[in-house]
Structure 1
Amino acid sequence: MAASTNATGRVPASKGLLQPEEFARRVRFDEVPASGPAAAWVERVWSASWELPDGMSATTSLIPHPAVEISVERGQLARAGRDRDGVWLTGVVTSRFDVTQFGSGGVLGLKFRPGGFAAWSGIPADQLTDRVEPAGDRLPGMDQLAHLPLVASESASVMLDSVLAGAGSAEPIPALVEDTLALLAEPVLTRVDQLAHRCGCSVRTLQRTIRHYVGVGPKWLIRRQRMHDAVAALDAETGEGLAELAARLGWYDQNQFGRDFVRLVGSTPSAYRDRTRADGTR
């Protein structure tokens, strides 16, 4: 794959991007952590732009996070739910998220913290799960962002100000949601009942709260966090064997890990690891 003429070599700080070395060669990426009052609900503002040779296309694939996003999109890209340039509202995506880039184009995104969108907007996050909608349909005033520069460092302040302008009746993200997300960093947590016990609540309360604020259930959160950890370990080439990696992250055995990995990523763990090694030596 030829490099984009404006690639920076940067990749997102968060986990989930598949084949990051390939992404870094073709995409100009920028991100700005949220600051000020808007950081109560927003994690970061990010941007990606590209300029590919005529006739060439490339697909960026991600294992999504449990976050709702508002994005300004212009130019030549194809992804589920988008049929034109505009400002889009995307709920939590439960499967692999693919964006095909060709020609020139770009995206400016505002990523809410898990639970942040529902706390900020009052809209239950599970109403948006696996959905893409014009942002203005639910969030009046968001269409005015359509002409912002597609560079995070230039447009972050305006994006964050737009969140503050619409935060009239916003509430803090509930402590139960924050505690759940913090606990997910522990690989030993592999079951919902363990998570509920650590949070000091019933399984039902945990399920109901997480689904309302985050958009998916706690079981999904556990599995997705462990998969993020697995992909990050394979990208880092730690030398850990696949059986050891599967056991450390809570899979019953390597076969179960392999099946889950293929279902979400689209290749076996060994094939993904080998491709990552090949990309790194080009």
Structure 2
Amino acid sequence: MPSRSGRVQAAIMRPSSAGHRIDIGRGEPDADLAGLVDYFWWVRWDAPAPHVQEVVPRPVVHVSAELVEGRPRLLVHGVHPRMFRRRLEGRGHTVAAGFRPAGFRPFLRGDVGALEGREVPAADVLGVDDRPVAEEVLAHERPEEGAAVLARWLRGLGPEDDPLVPELAALVERAEADTTLVRAEQLADLAGVSLRTLQRRFHSHVGIGPKWVVQRFRLLDVTSAAHGDEVVDWADLAARLGYADQSHLIRAFTQLVGHPPAAYAREA
């Protein structure tokens, strides 16, 4: 099974095609933000012809500096429940922060689930003008320097302490790493709470339900296998990932990606 960083990479659909048009980088947060921010990331693209990049969303909230109607803005991206598509054309770049599961709650001070499937200017949800910092982030030629500006801005927001954040972050990260976790009830047992309580906590802090989280990580394991160089025994993979049989795995993957896993593997 892939490592955690491998699952992050697995979220990029058709990586061989994307690699000709986009360049993705990543940096780690400083220690004072590491409990809330998982990583900073940036994308540069050079697409003379329009390129639509598909991404399988993980249970991660992002804050990205990008051009909106030609002007720099910070956008808050809630967890997208379905495939996320972004059209890229010409040359450009984006710099963003990817938060740990539940890590955006201390900045939002509200229900993260209200952001599900939405892209909202930071000013609308955080109550601060995001335009100056977005302009400064994108003005830097080196994206690492833009990420440092974004980190400084996040510190200035003064995130509140929330004891549920490290508990839920660890639980989601356990679900990502442990392929034997295939049901939300297993997460509830690990947390020592009822499934209903866990569902409430996930909605308010993570931004999406525990069942979705478990199923999405197992599908990302399938995607990672499809991106590999080895021939995949799909029936064996289905058994190892907790699917009832190979046909259940194929249906779930096809519903998300639009192609059966074997066909996608040949294309990707």
| Structures share fold, TM-score greater than 0.5 | yes
Moved more, 123-132 or 238-247: 238-247
Go from structure 1 to structure 2 and tell me whether the alpha carbon gap of 1:41 and 1:150 turns closer, same or farther (over 3 Å shift).
farther
Offset from partner CA, 1:215-254 (integer Å, 9 cap, x none): 1110000000101111011112333311111111111111
Aligned residue identity for 1:49 = R
Q: Does 1:87 align with 2:74?
A: yes
**Structure 1: gaps spanning 5 or more residues:** 1-10, 75-81, 277-282
Go from structure 1 to structure 2 and tell me whether the alpha carbon gap of 1:150 and 1:226 turns closer, same or farther (over 3 Å shift).
farther
Moved more, 148-157 or 213-222: 148-157
Larger relative contact order, structure 1 or 2 (CA cutoff 8 Å, min sep 6): 2
Aligned residue identity for 1:161 = R
Q: Check conservation: 1:119, 1:170, Cα contact below 8 A.
A: yes
- 2:64 aligns to what SS in structure 1? strand
Q: Check conservation: 1:69, 1:89, Cα contact below 8 A.
A: yes
Alignment length (residue pairs): 257
Q: Check conservation: 1:44, 1:112, Cα contact below 8 A.
A: yes
Cα offset for 1:152?
Answer: 3.0
TM-score (norm: length of structure 1): 0.85
Go from structure 1 to structure 2 and tell me whether the alpha carbon gap of 1:150 and 1:129 turns closer, same or farther (over 3 Å shift).
farther
**Paired residue for 2:256, among 223, 245, 264?**
264
Q: Check conservation: 2:103, 2:169, Cα contact below 8 A.
A: no
> Equivalent residue for 1:62?
55
4+ long deviations beyond 6 Å = none
Report percent identity of matched pairs.
28
Q: Does 1:101 align with 2:88?
A: yes
Q: Check conservation: 1:251, 1:257, Cα contact below 8 A.
A: yes
Q: Check conservation: 2:46, 2:92, Cα contact below 8 A.
A: yes
Q: Does 1:40 align with 2:28?
A: no
TM-score (norm: length of structure 2): 0.89
> Equivalent residue for 2:245?
253
Moved more, 87-96 or 130-139: 130-139
**Paired residue for 2:205, among 205, 213, 220?**
213
Aligned equivalents of 2:141, 2:235: Cα separation in 1:
42
Q: Does 1:234 align with 2:226?
A: yes
Spell out the pairing of 1:160-175 with structure 2 (5 A cutoff).
160-171=151-162, 173-175=164-166
Offset from partner CA, 1:88-109 (integer Å, 9 cap, x none): 1111100000111111222111
Q: Check conservation: 2:179, 2:241, Cα contact below 8 A.
A: yes
Aligned equivalents of 2:170, 2:8: Cα separation in 1:
22
Q: Check conservation: 1:107, 1:150, Cα contact below 8 A.
A: no
**Paired residue for 2:188, among 192, 196, 201?**
196
Go from structure 1 to structure 2 and tell me whether the alpha carbon gap of 1:268 and 1:13 turns closer, same or farther (over 3 Å shift).
closer
Q: CA RMSD in A?
A: 2.0
Aligned residue identity for 2:133 = L
